[in-house]
Structure 1
Amino acid sequence: MHGLGRHLTLLVFLATPAMAETFDPSSLELAALIECRADVPAYNSFALWLGGEPGAAGTLGWKEVPSGNPFLRQYRLPAPVHVFRHETGTIVFTATGPMAVLDGIAAPELARQLGVPATVSSPDKFLGEKVMAERTEDSGGVTFATRIALSVSTVDTHPGQTLAGCSYALEIGD
């Protein structure tokens, strides 16, 4: 990225502490975030607050637990959350969004129920993704692209479990 796009990315980065400060933990709808029923600004405000506010997870009653995977930050919830007609007391965060850690349903079956097509489907690995919303806007020569996608997958660090959740992305270009 160069020129104005890089400048706007810097402005967005500098604005993020204000976004985090305006997040109200009592407004959290975790199931909506996991099921892709939230928008990118709502997720970003929450994610910035969670990552930037000391003790944020504790405020929610969440307990961080080792995930065994350097790409997943895992939390045990104080009460189960109901998502995709299932219940879980454990969630993980990827670089782009939250996922429920589900027992009792195979990834291919959940993907079928949710209409998520498989990208990879083998006895050792499942990965599926369904784009829920995608929009590109141009403003003064700058492009803002948002993408929300529902994912269903398996990972080696969580044998016998299915991860299902949402990815929220905002890209700024010129």
Structure 2
Amino acid sequence: MRRLGQCLAPLVLLATPAMAEDFDPASLDLAALIECRADVPAYNGFAFWLAGEPGAADRLGWKEVPSGNPFLRQYQLPAPVHVFGRETGTVVFTATGPMAVLEGIAAPDLAWQIGAPATVSSPDKFLGEKVVAESTEDTGGVSLATRITLNVSTVESHPGKTLAGCSYALDVK
């Protein structure tokens, strides 16, 4: 869980003890988090609970498995999750959000289907991104920028697979 905590470090600035304490595992809608249908507080509450609650993944029935990538924390789910018109039993967490690990669809094809235009497209790497929400709030000399994007990518650690999910990026200035 230490690595997941490191992945979630950008969110620490916005954390309150109540965020993790208020999360009810029965309320988890993983598909909504992956497909950017959840709001930032919903993701933050879940992320802080998962990173900070001892045995959180076990309570969900998730089994952590090696991802082969130091930037991804990977879990096998007890039952498949239905996202982007497909099912998967594997999810990964990046520093900013959850992604489904999908088989049977090429990243460019999925990106086209969900309207996430390519920002990088080569034989070795694909990145597609669709901005779902973007805002800046200034209060008391502090600027909080929120950017939620739907992402599709390939990574070397997961050959032949497509990663697709949501990024809940927050920047405090």
| TM-score of the superposed pair, with normalisation by structure 2 | 0.90
Offset, 1:139:
1.6
Determine which structure has more spread, i.e. the larger CA radius of gyration: 1
Aligned mates of 1:136, 1:70 — CA distance in 2: 31
SS at match of 1:159: coil
Offset, 1:17:
2.5
Identity, in percent, stands at 81
Query: What is the alpha-carbon root mean square deviation over aligned residues?
Result: 1.2
Alignment map for 1:1-174 (pairs within 5 Å): 13=13, 15-173=15-173
Question: Which amino acid counterpart does residue 121 of structure 2 have in structure 1?
Answer: S
- Which 5+ residue runs of structure 1 have no aligned equivalent? 1-11
Aligned residues: 162
Offset, 1:145:
1.1
Aligned mates of 1:70, 1:16 — CA distance in 2: 27
SS at match of 1:48: helix
- Which 5+ residue runs of structure 2 have no aligned equivalent? 1-11
- Tell whether the 8 Å contact from 1:34 to 1:165 is kept in structure 2 after alignment: yes
Offset, 1:141:
2.3
Aligned mates of 1:144, 1:125 — CA distance in 2: 31
Offset, 1:122:
1.0
Question: Which amino acid counterpart does residue 24 of structure 2 have in structure 1?
Answer: D
Aligned mates of 2:37, 2:43 — CA distance in 1: 10
2:4 corresponds to which residue?
Answer: none
Offset, 1:140:
2.3
| TM-score of the superposed pair, with normalisation by structure 1 | 0.90
SS at match of 2:135: strand
- Render the CA deviation track for 1:81-107: whole Å, top value 9, x for unaligned: 000000000000000000000000000
SS at match of 2:111: helix
Aligned mates of 2:14, 2:133 — CA distance in 1: 26
Aligned mates of 1:59, 1:48 — CA distance in 2: 15
